[in-house]
């Protein structure tokens, strides 16, 4: 089977790019399941039920999130609904929502890093606990590791090598060139990238970010218009063993 995982979707430009590109990619690659990180889908920060539904209507099957998942309060009860939206597994266990999604023989897991991101439960131990507790472990397991430090992401890939199908990094919005299959059969990339404006600073208006660096005064960031980079990864795996047999980077520019 082939799984498409889309990098962080940034605001309305990102959502519109997904709507335009995704149906074509599903046909071209014969995609079984499409996943997108949606934690920046609503105006560049957070997710709402409406923006989540827009992604689902465009052909996304599962939405992962990250440190901005709580930015819009209306999403909190939505996380406890039947919608295929997950938040990082290693948030406190009493928090709304769930950290993984299962359908048939596929599981999607969302975890968040701690280095330069925040105080969370250990993502390594959280994955050990989940994999150890499942009564029926699906063969295909896709992990969205939402983390900042490249070292933490690489370490997670190596830690889970052979135990999951793929460990794919999100959060930094800059696609990396290290897509590979690790020695024990796990597909890996440090960061998928983003679906967001090219003329920006990781999806945010250039002047907003430069002003912040120059003045250190907090301000609300905006998402600019213009050409959008659509960054994604396609992972192919066997249905029975769940081992990855191919990983491809997909990048398209949307006018």
DSSP for 110-158, written as a single string? EEE--TTT-----HHHHHHHHHHH-SS--SEEEEEEE-S-HHHHHHHHH
Instruction: State residue 20's pLDDT score.
Output: 97
Instruction: State residue 199's pLDDT score.
Output: 97
- Is beta strand 33-37 parallel, antiparallel or unpaired with respect to 62-64? parallel
Would the pLDDT of 219 be above 90?
A: no
Under the banding of pLDDT at 50, 70 and 90, the label for residue 70 is very high
Contact yes or no for 144/112 (Cβ under 8 A): no
pTM attached to this predicted model: 0.96
Residues marked as catalytic: 68
Distance from C-alpha of 165 to C-alpha of 229, rounded to nearest angstrom: 26
Under the banding of pLDDT at 50, 70 and 90, the label for residue 188 is very high
Q: What is the CATH number of the domain that holds 86?
A: 3.60.21.10
Residue numbers of the domain that contains 111: 2-254
How many domains would you assign to the chain? 1
Instruction: State residue 239's pLDDT score.
Output: 82
What share of the chain has pLDDT > 70, as a percent?
100
Instruction: State residue 226's pLDDT score.
Output: 96
Quote the radius of gyration of the chain (alpha carbons, Å).
Answer: 17
Mean pLDDT over the full length of the chain? 97
């Amino acid at each position: 089977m082939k799984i498409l995982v889309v990098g962080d979707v940034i605001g309305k430009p990102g959502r519109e790019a997904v709507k335009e590109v995704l149906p074509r990619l599903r046909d071209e690659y014969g995609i079984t399941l499409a996943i997108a990180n949606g934690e920046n889908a609503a105006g560049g920060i957070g997710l709402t039920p409406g923006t989540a539904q827009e992604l689902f209507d465009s052909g996304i099957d599962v939405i992962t999130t990250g440190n901005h998942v709580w930015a819009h309060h209306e999403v909190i009860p939505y996380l406890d609904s039947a919608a295929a939206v997950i938040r990082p597994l290693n948030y406190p266990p009493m928090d709304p929502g769930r950290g993984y999604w299962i359908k048939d023989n596929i599981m999607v897991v969302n975890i968040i890093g701690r280095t330069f991101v925040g105080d969370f439960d250990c993502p390594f131990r959280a994955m050990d606990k989940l994999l150890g507790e499942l009564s029926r472990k699906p063969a295909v397991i896709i992990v969205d590791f939402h983390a900042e430090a490249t070292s933490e992401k690489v370490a997670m890939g190596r830690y889970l090598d052979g135990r999951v199908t793929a460990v794919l990094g999100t959060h930094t919005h800059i696609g990396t060139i290290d897509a590979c299959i690790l020695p024990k059969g796990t597909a890996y990339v440090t960061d998928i990238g983003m679906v967001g404006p090219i003329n920006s600073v990781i999806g945010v208006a250039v002047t907003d970010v430069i002003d912040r660096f120059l003045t250190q005064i907090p301000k609300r960031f905006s998402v600019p218009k213009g050409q959008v980079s659509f960054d994604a990864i396609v992972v192919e795996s066997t249905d029975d063993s769940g081992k990855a047999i191919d990983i491809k980077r997909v990048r398209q520019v949307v006018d």
